[in-house]
Structures are given as C-alpha cells and as structure tokens.
Amino acid sequence: MLFGGTSCGDQSIMFRVRILTQPGKALIPFRHYPVCGPQSKMWKLILSQRAPDRFPIGGWNINTQDVDDSLHSQFNRLRDYSCKGTLYHFRLTYPELGTYNEWYQTNDPSNQTHGSVSGYVGVALGLPNNFSGLVFNNVDALAMGDSNNAHPQWFSIGRIKTDTANGSIPGPPNTFVSRVQLFIRDDCASIK
C-alpha cells in the first residue's frame, strides 16, 4: 500500500507502510520513516560511517563531537541511553536503501565479554533476513550481525577491514552500501 512521499534534497522518495511478521510474534506494523533526513530527537547517533573510510581496531569513540564526519562513534554513551543499564533500543539505518532495522537487545555490542546477542526483540525490521541484533567483533568491524555464521560480515557497523569492492560496507545479506548509521533511542521504553 502506498503511504506517502517525502523529499530528500533533490530526490523524491515514496515509501510504503507494510506489515511484517516474525516467528512466534504478532503482526508488527513497519513504521517506515524516510532515513535520508534527520531522525527524531529521541534517536541519538552512536555510529556513522561513509565508505571508503574505515575505523581502526578499537575505534569505539572516534570524532565523538562531529556527527557529520565520515567516521563518528560514541559507544561510551550507550549506558546513558539504556533502560536500567541493560536494555538497548537500536535503529540500524542504510540511507541509500531507504530502510532500517529497529530492535531491542540486552547485550552491549561494544563489550567483548558479550559473545552473542541476548534479549533480542524485533520492533520494525525492514531487512529481517538473517538479522537478530549486533554483537562485538573488533576484527572485521566494530560490531556485526549475530545470526549468520556462514557470512558473518553482514550488518557490519564500524567496518575495519578493507576487503570490499570500492571500499563499500557489508550491509544486509548480499548487499554492499556506502553509508551506515546506528542510533539508540532515548526513551527507556519497556517491553511488555
């Protein structure tokens, strides 16, 4: 169902409202906001990367005051926006794809003692295939998607390795992107 449109610079974008299902869950309305513009004030930018630039190993806090830099990260702020210190509400966006994944998880993806995702609950998944949250990596990328062991590079955030064509960033499975952003929501909403 066509919902509406918006303008992003000199580009008009139409977007759709879809209903997605998740195994064992009720239908989830996909609240599709255009991701080319700024997110609402409830969302705090934690990481932004533009290809071909790469993060260094351990680059968890780079250009923390400059959100417009091609490399920006401020994982030291995660606890500031967590609920009760253990619940995180994330949104991973791919501006050129015009979609995002939004979810909760209880592990901190910048903590190396967290070897897998815990407490994952999908909220709005525009790219649901093989996605179940983010987990610490700090070799190929700062953090990566946790669900695809055969191709663990997908859903890279803070890409470190320079092994992709044109310096692109591994996004959703079989897709390379030029930009990735990770937001955390400052709402401390509870999951029922």
Q: Which pLDDT does position 149 carry in this prediction? A: 57
Q: Which pLDDT does position 47 carry in this prediction? A: 97
Token pair 């955390």 is at which residue? 184
pLDDT, tens digit only, all 192 positions of the chain: 223 333 333 333 333 334 444 443 333 344 444 444 455 678 999 999 999 999 999 999 999 999 999 999 999 988 888 887 789 999 999 999 999 999 999 999 999 887 789 999 999 999 988 899 999 999 999 999 875 555 568 999 999 998 887 889 999 988 999 999 999 998 665 444
Q: Which pLDDT does position 3 carry in this prediction? A: 32
Angle ∠(182,184,188) on CA atoms, nearest 5: 165
Q: Which pLDDT does position 88 carry in this prediction? A: 93
pLDDT tens for residues 122-157? 999 999 888 999 999 999 999 998 755 555 689 999
Angle ∠(91,57,105) on CA atoms, nearest 5: 30
Among the listed residues 126, 132, 46, 127, the one whose alpha carbon sits nearest the alpha carbon of residue 82:
46
- 3-class SS letters over 138-157: CCCEEEEECCCCCCCCCCCE
DSSP string, 110-122: T-TT--S--S-EE
pTM for the model: 0.78
CB 71 within 8 A of CB 53: yes
The domain ranges of the chain are 2-185
CA 185 to chain CA centroid, nearest Å: 12
Which helix H or strand E contains 101, and what residues bound it? strand 99-105
